Chain A
Amino acid sequence: MSDESPAAADGMLVDQRGLTSRSHRGTASSPAVVATSTVLRQLYSLVQRYFPQILVAGIALSILFVYTSGGLTLMGEQIKNALVLGAIYALVAIGYTMVYGIIELINFAHGDVFALSSFYALIIATSFGGFINSLATGSGIGLLVALLILFVTTMAAAGFTGMAIERVAYRRLRDAPRLAPLITAIGVSFLLEGFMLVKFGADNVPTKNSLWITGTALTLGKVSIAWTDLFVFATAVALMFTLGAFVRITTLGKAMRATAQDRNASLLCGINVNRTISATFFIGSALAAAGGIVYSLNYHSIQWSLGYRLGIIAFTAAVLGGIGNIVGAGIGGFVIGIIYVFGGQLAGGEWSDSLIFAILVIILTFRPTGLFGVDVTTRA
């Protein structure tokens, strides 16, 4: 039946030249090359195995350097700055890690959602004829109410923005090979940045709401910790714990974890995967919004391009913690904050960004699974 049967034609299937013994033909390496490559390989596996320790040691050393060169006050100041910055990074990193965990997409636009949220916060704070602004600056209770309104509305707005982005841009490309969703994500990022550029202009926009929380909370030695610092830190920690509990306890949280592990199996178990993914985007964006809000409460100006670099830095934090791991992203955020601040202190502020990018390369070279990442098992 098959006219395609292997014919017993002339000419051999097996190349007779190949049968001769060629133990090292084409594979011979000079002893020097072999030696260096062995050394390199051993160095590599050493760094790989002791990566967390090396990282901690490096950080400790840099903190030590700052202490010895600048004194306790400087060290204290920078630790405070690092924790505040790290808190913001943590909030944004969690969104990255959640989205990547569930659909394996680096959501380029996430950093811009963060920036956009800070603008949302500004708008809400100054709208209604400045009602909310006066509420906040009026009394203690007023401040709390204003903050509550601000957080709820901004986080919701950002959440819906994130959901819309997923629905319009990412959903159809869920199973496409890497390039397509990546470019789409870049497109969304440009779209958001362009929107902020048009709406708010190219220059720094002063944040009214940064005047809401004022004053020093406490002073440790010569280091003064402002209320805003505490607020940022507390918000981040509180939200992280809430999210952690949510993911562990609620059905939706379980659905998220299941979908992240195996999408098809989750479908078969009756989980509404589309809704789960939408919820993931909502929550991730809402957390980024929280980061944006505390950013606008803490710093005195925001800008359309805020999201780009901060986004990459936050992503580095997510990778450091182990992509897909929410707690890891949180911890990673603080670690990156420390590296950013102390690295900048030692090398000069203009090198902070590059330092973090270099860390990103190092992590992905030696330990792509991050500090707390899921151990990658090969297919048996």
Chain B
Amino acid sequence: MALIEVESLVKRFGGLMAVNDVSFVIDAREIVSMIGPNGAGKTTAFNCVTGLYPITSGAVRFDGHSITGQPPHRITRLGIARTFQNIRLFSFMTALDNVMVGAHWWMSARVWDSVVKSPRARADEKRVEARARDLLEQLGLTRYAGSYARELPYGLQRRLEIARALATQPRVLLLDEPAAGLNPQEKKELMALISRLRDEGLTIFLIEHDMRVVMEISDRIVVLDHGVKITEGKPAEVRSNPQVIEAYLGQGAAERMVDA
């Protein structure tokens, strides 16, 4: 059962064709990675799926319903959460508040409740704070609950961003280069985290450059180059695909690899 269907996605910036007729499908509880050299259009594709960029043409469907052209906040509320390549936390909010913002859309307190601090608002806040603290604890961030987000070490900032995304009650989690800047130990923890998230029922779609991470955790891999999908498949297939090798290492390399 396909959760996300991307069909003939095209995104053009003026004269530049960033994403050119890309189609792929992500099934529920899959871990799919999107790889490709820099500038291949991966983040652009992400931004199209999450509604950050208006799509030039094509369609994106979530759970069978079209989400093409929907504003980003609505897509998040439907169940697609994301993190950013260059971390976009709310630097001057505490870690706890960052995560609580994720719960914003499903909190039941309305404006009037908030203004008068009604019992409903108070119960709501307590509930959300408990959930946020729970998330922080499970991700090992309790010590930083009251610190400003910008004061956290880099690796923990990445984790906080994931916590915030999880707070939005997602069904799919889109991670944009989650392993960037992490040391090997942190990468191991990241992979364990992703596996655990899938085991608990989430679907994961990630962009990543670290091949080891990609090969180890992905169920399927989609390969982009210059805005075009050049192949997709299981890790083993993709690894030995000559087109992929050529895209990353240049024309001669593919032939040499085959010979070798």
Contact = CB atoms under 8 A, between A and B. Distances in A.
Question: Do A and B come into direct contact in the complex, CB within 8 Å?
Answer: yes
B14 A375 contact: yes
A12 B198 CA distance: 11
A1 B166 CA distance: 26
A14 B78 contact: no
Interface stretch (B136-144, B213-221, B234-242): B136-144
B13 A380 contact: yes
A378 B65 CA distance: 27
B212 to A, nearest CB: 19
B196 interface: yes
Contacts of B169: 15, 17-18
B151 interface: no
A48 to B, nearest CB: 13
Interface string B123-150: 0000000010011011111010000000
A21 interface: yes
Given A14-B202, A380-B18, A4 B156 contact: yes
A14 B44 contact: no
A251 interface: no
Contact of B79 (A6, A11, A22): A22
A378 to B, nearest CB: 6
B189 A6 contact: yes
Nearest to B70: A27
Interface string A7-35: 11101111111110111111100000000
A230 to B, nearest CB: 43
Nearest to B200: A14
B64 interface: yes
B138 A13 contact: yes
Nearest to B143: A4
A18 B170 contact: yes
A21 B140 contact: no
Given A14-B200, A15-B169, A18-B169, A6 B140 contact: yes
Nearest to B41: A380
Contacts of A36: none
A12 B200 CA distance: 7
Nearest to A376: B14
A23 B106 CA distance: 14
28 contacts: A1-B185, A2-B140, A2-B186, A4-B140, A5-B189, A6-B189, A6-B193, A7-B137, A7-B138, A7-B140, A11-B134, A11-B137, A11-B138, A13-B193, A13-B200, A14-B166, A14-B170, A14-B197, A14-B201, A14-B202, A16-B200, A17-B169, A19-B201, A22-B79, A23-B62, A27-B78, A377-B13, A380-B39
Interface of A: 1-9, 11-19, 21-27, 375, 377-378, 380
